[in-house]
């Protein structure tokens, strides 16, 4: 392992700072590379020795991990909270962060965390977005009911969010409530609901999920939505 380089990476939205060292801690090279696929690939290809790398787990680290993993002997993801506890310091910048990650890696003190496979991360991304749409839709539904209650307009709760009931209800509002009519029309999140249904259909097609969803639905009270989430 002594002939390997050890590389610490500090990742940001527009750039990635790197520090390359030997096993003994001798600095080989340090610098910054643009945070794009072509630039990162060119940088990794130019390294003249097998290497082991580490990067802090952030919202940007997934694509960097996928880009570099095939070119590294090993690539570790560092747990961000544990990393902060270990490397707590008043003096802090991108180069020092990359240097600390590199030192922890070569001394085998890096607090590693699990990096899910790319296909699992993709499913999680879709599910998180679907959950966001659902939360926003629920908020807006509650807002619709609240606006009607503010002006004393009676409505049938079970039918309120059905198109055939909702739009005729708007027409019944007096002319003095034009502003409320406009707010109610804006508040109806038809697009979000259509997107949510579309996402559920797409998720059901994933081969990774099909068997698991089918088994979960054998439990009483578990439907497709609960099984997916």
CATH number, domain of 77, equals 3.30.420.140
The backbone torsions φ and ψ at residue 188, rounded to the nearest 5 degrees and listed phi first, read: -75, 115
23 and 102, same domain (yes or no): yes
Digit-coded pLDDT (tens) for 73-123: 999 999 988 887 666 666 678 888 899 999 999 999 999 999 988 888 888
pTM of the model: 0.74
Distance of CA 198 to the CA centre of its chain: 19
85 and 130, same domain (yes or no): no
Question: What pLDDT, on the 0 to 100 scale, is given for residue 191?
Answer: 67
107 and 126, same domain (yes or no): no
Q: Which residue has the tokens 């340090």?
A: 30
Question: What pLDDT, on the 0 to 100 scale, is given for residue 52?
Answer: 96
Digit-coded pLDDT (tens) for 111-169: 999 998 888 888 888 888 888 888 888 888 899 999 999 988 899 988 888 888 888 98
109 and 127, same domain (yes or no): no
Cα angle for residues 126, 128, 131 (degrees, 5° grid) = 110
For residue 1, pLDDT beyond 60: no
Name the burial class of residue 216, with classes exposed (0-12), middle (13-18) and buried (19+) by CB atoms within 10 angstroms of its CB.
middle
SS3 breakdown of the chain: % helix, strand, coil, rounded to 5?
55, 15, 30
87 and 161, same domain (yes or no): no
Domain boundary among 62, 82, 113: 113
DSSP class of 160: T
The domain of 206 spans 118-228
For residue 2, pLDDT beyond 60: no
> Structurally, how many domains does the chain consist of?
2
For residue 196, pLDDT beyond 80: no
156 and 172, same domain (yes or no): yes
Check if the beta carbon of residue 73 is closer than 8 Å to that of residue 4. yes
106 and 123, same domain (yes or no): no
């Amino acid at each position: 392992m002594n002939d390997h380089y050890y590389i610490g990476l500090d990742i940001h939205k527009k750039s990635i700072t790197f520090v390359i060292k030997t096993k003994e801690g001798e600095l080989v090279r340090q610098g910054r590379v643009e945070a794009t696929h072509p630039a990162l690939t060119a940088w990794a290809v130019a390294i003249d020795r097998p290497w082991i790398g580490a990067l802090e787990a952030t919202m940007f680290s997934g694509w960097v991990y996928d880009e570099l993993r095939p070119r590294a002997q090993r690539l570790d993801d560092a747990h961000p909270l544990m990393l902060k506890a270990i490397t707590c310091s008043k003096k802090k910048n991108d180069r020092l962060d990359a240097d600390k990650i590199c030192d922890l890696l070569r001394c085998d003190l890096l607090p590693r965390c699990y990096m899910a496979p790319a296909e699992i991360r993709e499913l999680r991304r879709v599910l998180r977005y679907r959950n966001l749409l659902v939360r926003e839709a629920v908020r807006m539904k509650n807002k619709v009911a609240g606006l009607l209650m503010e002006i004393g307009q009676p409505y049938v709760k079970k039918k309120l969010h059905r198109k055939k009931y909702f739009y005729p209800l708007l027409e019944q509002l007096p002319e003095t409530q034009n502003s409320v009519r406009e707010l109610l029309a804006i508040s109806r999140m038809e697009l979000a609901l259509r997107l949510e249904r579309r996402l559920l259909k797409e998720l059901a097609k994933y081969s990774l999920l099909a068997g698991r969803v089918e088994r979960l639905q054998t439990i009483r009270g578990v439907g497709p939505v609960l099984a997916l989430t």
